[in-house]
């Protein structure tokens, strides 16, 4: 094929066995923990889930550096469970949703909070607050066969060793099968899609030089530094 210029490298996430999982799209669930919904100033009633997106090349591997982005003075962390789709589908039934999942990882939804709030206040899209360069750190993927009940597991994040976020996946408003089934009504999921499933309470700003460590019991830890 005759390209006008050399295509960019395929974004990937490492797996536990050393393979590379090619990333297609990154979907993110908004407001999926009641306590976080409250800290953002909203009512945590169980409404239908909503989603925003990040570019596939926003992934940052374990041990990587997240550059402090421009145009913000409020750069925040959001630790999340990441679901990796291994089998595509549309209108997926909730009861069979887990059959479409390749594996799980811990991720961080990095957010320019001031830009997100400005956009939200004006009724504009969140793209500049959420979907920017290096905004989706993701740890190594654990295949589903190697993961116990993912619906109940402690989730946490520390900054320079200080606890910032501590909760449990059991507190998610929408479960993983519900999220996969709901999203598949609107888009055709394909192998390579990642779904960041929302963050618990405790989000807070980070500074250049900070070391972030994100954990979910049973999965590989994720450590990144802010550049």
pTM: 0.96
Long-range CB contacts (within 8 A, 24+) of 89-92:
89/184, 89/188, 89/189, 90/184, 90/185, 90/187, 90/188, 90/189, 91/184, 91/185, 92/180, 92/181, 92/184, 92/189
**3-class state of residue 38 by DSSP:** helix
State the pLDDT at residue 47: 79
State the pLDDT at residue 165: 98
The percent of residues above 90 in pLDDT, for the chain, comes to 90
Judge whether residue 42 has pLDDT over 80: no
pLDDT in tens, 166-181: 999 999 999 999 999 9
Please give the mean pLDDT across all residues of the chain.
95
Report the distance separating Cα 48 and Cα 33, nearest Å. 13
Judge whether residue 45 has pLDDT over 90: no
Report the distance separating Cα 146 and Cα 51, nearest Å. 28
pLDDT in tens, 132-156: 999 999 999 999 999 988 989 999 9
Instruction: Domains for the chain: give ranges and CATH numbers.
Output: 14-226 (3.90.850.10)
């Amino acid at each position: 094929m005759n390209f006008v210029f050399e295509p960019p490298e395929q974004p990937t996430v490492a797996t536990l066995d050393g393979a590379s999982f090619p990333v297609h799209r990154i979907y993110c669930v908004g407001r999926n923990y009641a306590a976080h919904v409250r800290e953002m100033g909203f009512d945590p009633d169980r409404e239908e889930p909503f989603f925003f997106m990040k570019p596939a090349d926003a992934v940052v591997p374990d041990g990587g550096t997240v550059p402090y982005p421009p145009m913000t003075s409020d750069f925040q962390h959001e630790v999340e469970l990441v679901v990796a789709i291994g089998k595509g589908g549309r209108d997926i039934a909730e009861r069979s949703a887990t059959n479409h999942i390749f594996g799980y990882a811990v991720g961080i939804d990095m957010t320019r909070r001031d830009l997100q709030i400005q956009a939200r206040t004006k009724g504009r899209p969140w793209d500049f607050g959420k979907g920017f360069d290096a905004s989706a750190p993701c740890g190594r993927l654990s295949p589903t066969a190697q993961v116990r009940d993912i619906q109940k597991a402690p989730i946490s994040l520390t900054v320079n060793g200080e606890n910032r976020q501590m909760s449990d996946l059991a507190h998610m408003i929408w479960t993983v099968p519900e999220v996969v089934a709901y999203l598949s009504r609107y888009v055709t999921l394909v192998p390579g899609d990642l779904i960041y499933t929302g963050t618990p309470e405790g989000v807070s700003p980070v500074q250049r030089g900070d070391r972030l460590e994100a954990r979910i019991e049973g999965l590989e830890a994720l450590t990144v530094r802010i550049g």
